[in-house]
Amino acid sequence: YMIGGLYDGREVPKEMTVCKLPESLWAKFKSFGPLPGALQSLNTMIWQEWIPNNPQYEIAFNADIEWYPSNKVMDENYECAIWLPIKEK
E-state strands within the chain: 25-32, 57-59, 65-67, 79-88
Q: How many whole angstroms separate alpha carbon 57 and alpha carbon 89? A: 5
What pLDDT shows up at residue 57? 98
The string of pLDDT tens digits covering residues 37-79 is 999 999 999 999 999 999 999 999 999 999 999 999 999 999 9
Question: Lowest-pLDDT range, 13-17, 25-29, 44-48, 57-61?
Answer: 13-17
The string of pLDDT tens digits covering residues 53-62 is 999 999 999 9
**Among candidate residues 26, 40, 25, 50, the one with its CA nearest the CA of residue 80:** 40
Confidence of residue 2 (pLDDT cuts 50, 70, 90): confident
Q: How many whole angstroms separate alpha carbon 64 and alpha carbon 27? A: 10
